[in-house]
Amino acid sequence: MKENTHDLLIHGGKPLAGTITTNTSKNGSVALLCAALINQNKTHVRGIADIEEVKRLIEVMEDLGVSVTRENDTVTIAPPTTYNLNGLFNKSFERIRSGLMLIPALAHKHTTFKLPAAGGCSMGKRTTIAHTHGLEKLGISIQREELCSVVSKTEPKTDTIVMYEMSDTATVNMLIAASLTPQTTTISFASANYQVQEICFFLQTLGVEVEGIGTSTLHVHGIGTIAKEVTYTNSEDPTESMAFIAIAATTNSPLTITRAPISFLELELLILESMGFSFTLSKAYTSENGKTKLVDITMRESNLTAPAEKIHALPYPGINTDNLPFFVPIATQAKGVTLIHDWMWENRAIYYTELNRLGANITLLDPHRVTIHGKTPLRGAQAVCPPALRPAMIILVAMLASEGTSILRDTYIIHRGYEDIVQRLNTLGADMSVLK
């Protein structure tokens, strides 16, 4: 396990300009890799992000006996006849949350196995009850023991699942498991977020009929065995687009973002427009998956004011919970007081106060709410990346807007979700370098 981690030297406060392209999505990449294992033939996926989270997942998959090869922008996945279940105890499994989506494919081949605790971002308690509750209905029991969980395959108990919570990864797990269950399964209170839609489109490529895509009720016509060589293309990452939007707004820079998945950014842009953010959208076009709607966003220098109402996340089509943190650095440059309510995660809002090191005026009201008093000038400082992807990224955004020199330490967490981010932002005029 070779991790990409280093400290960054950032000379901030520089004007940025130019065009940057949205890469394919992190969450879509890991979901597609896991879903590909239900296909007993080869699956070729274009657009698998070359990021640390994907690398860790592939390390686990290879230890399980899966053949994973990358040639240019295409990753080919071929599952084994039987898995080496000891591969789950690869140290990389402890670094990722996405490993939970391996459960359905493994349970399809093995009646019982042990599963270590998943990793990922540290944002307080992260329950797996939506996974265990739903999978049990489809005949996959998960019993927690002292150091791991025991997964056992039984018979499906029902053809109707009500999700315990509208979880993205749990909904993906239900879709994967239901596709291998020879019945029509109804999933209610399902997430309709972009990675869930991606898996629905992929399953259709495999021949699994899925109805209700983009809604909270899905009907999956499972076919039991799948053995079909297919090629599929992952679509673009709305949360990466949101990071670039935040950079433009926080640094007050004229930037253009191409290939932005507009259906998953519409409310975010509406709120920013109400704050005085100036932008135009191109005519919509389609991603290479043939489904996802994209636009180019051209952003201009703007005078921002705080929004009239609090900003909070909701399941799609509300503000994406991964997009919510990017309003924090933006609000530091908006005149007035902005209230951000991050109710989904137990402790993530605490990390937002790290921007005070850079001169922001952020008050933590409780573990879920902060007020941001703007507009405040930002200045260079040192900070260590918190153990959570989006909070770490917003520190980088704020440092780009901070006059003077900043050092951002231990940036592995950023590379979990953003590919070549230093080089890509430097092409826009940023001045960042790796500290040896």
Residues 43 and 86 in one domain: yes
Q: How large is the average pLDDT for residues 17-36?
A: 98
Q: How confident is the model at residue 179 (pLDDT cuts 50, 70, 90)?
A: very high
Please, which pLDDT band fits residue 123 given cuts at 50, 70 and 90?
Answer: very low
The answer to whether residues 290 and 166 belong to one domain is no
Residue 373 has, within 13 A of its CA and on its CB side, a CA count of 7
Q: Does 362 lie in the same domain as 227?
A: no
Confidence of residue 117 (pLDDT cuts 50, 70, 90): confident
Tell me the CATH number at 61.
Answer: 3.65.10.10
Helix segments in 362-435, DSSP class H: 389-400, 412-415, 421-426
Take residue 204 and report the two structure tokens written for it: 């259709």
How many other C-beta atoms lie within 10 A of the C-beta of residue 289?
A: 20
pLDDT digits (tens, 9 = 90+) for 190-203: 999 999 999 999 99
| Calpha distance 56→92 (Å, rounded) | 5
Q: What is the mean pLDDT of residues 392-398?
A: 98
Element (H, E) at 204: helix 194-205
Write down the H helix ranges in 44-167: 52-63, 103-109, 129-137
Q: State the pLDDT at residue 124.
A: 47
Residue-wise pLDDT tens digits, 362-390? 999 999 999 999 999 999 999 999 999 99
Whether the pLDDT of residue 262 is over 60: the answer is: yes
**Domain assignment present for 206:** yes
248 lies in some domain? yes
2 domain-assigned: no
Together in a domain, 250 and 351: yes
Cβ atoms of residues 35 and 221 within 8 Å: no
The reply to whether 208 and 346 lie within a common domain is no
**Two tokens at 98?**
């996405």
Contact 312, 343 (CB under 8 A): yes
Predicted local distance difference test score (pLDDT) of residue 128: 86
Number of helical H runs and strand E runs in the chain: 13, 25
Judgement on whether residues 176 and 93 belong to the same structural domain of the protein: yes
| Domain extent at residue 354 | 7-23+236-435
Q: How far apart are CA 293 and CA 262, in angstroms?
A: 6
pLDDT, average across residues 295-303:
98
Return the closest-CA partner of residue 18 out of 425, 436, 434: 425
Statement to judge: residues 31 and 107 lie in one domain: yes
Parallel, antiparallel, or unpaired: how do β-strands 67-71 and 285-286 relate?
unpaired
CB 348 within 8 A of CB 386: no
* Residue 375 resides in a domain: yes
The share of the chain scoring above pLDDT 90, in percent, equals 90
Average pLDDT of span 205-222: 97
Contact 385, 122 (CB under 8 A): no
User: What is the phi/psi pair of residue 52, to 5°?
Assistant: -65, -40
Tell which residue, 358, 351, 366, has the closest CA to residue 405.
358
pLDDT of residue 2: 59
Dump pLDDT digits (tens) for 311-363. Answer: 999 999 999 999 999 999 999 999 999 999 999 988 899 999 999 999 999 99
Number of domains composing the chain: 2
Residues 186 and 289 grouped into a single domain:
no
In the chain, what percentage of residues exceed pLDDT 70? 97
Q: Are residues 269 and 136 in the same domain?
A: no
Q: Which segments of 271-313 are extended strands (E)?
A: 279-281, 285-286, 293-299, 304-305, 311-312
Mean pLDDT of the chain: 95
State whether 164 and 38 are in the same domain. yes
What is the rounded distance in angstroms from the CA atom of residue 278 to the CA atom of residue 317? 22
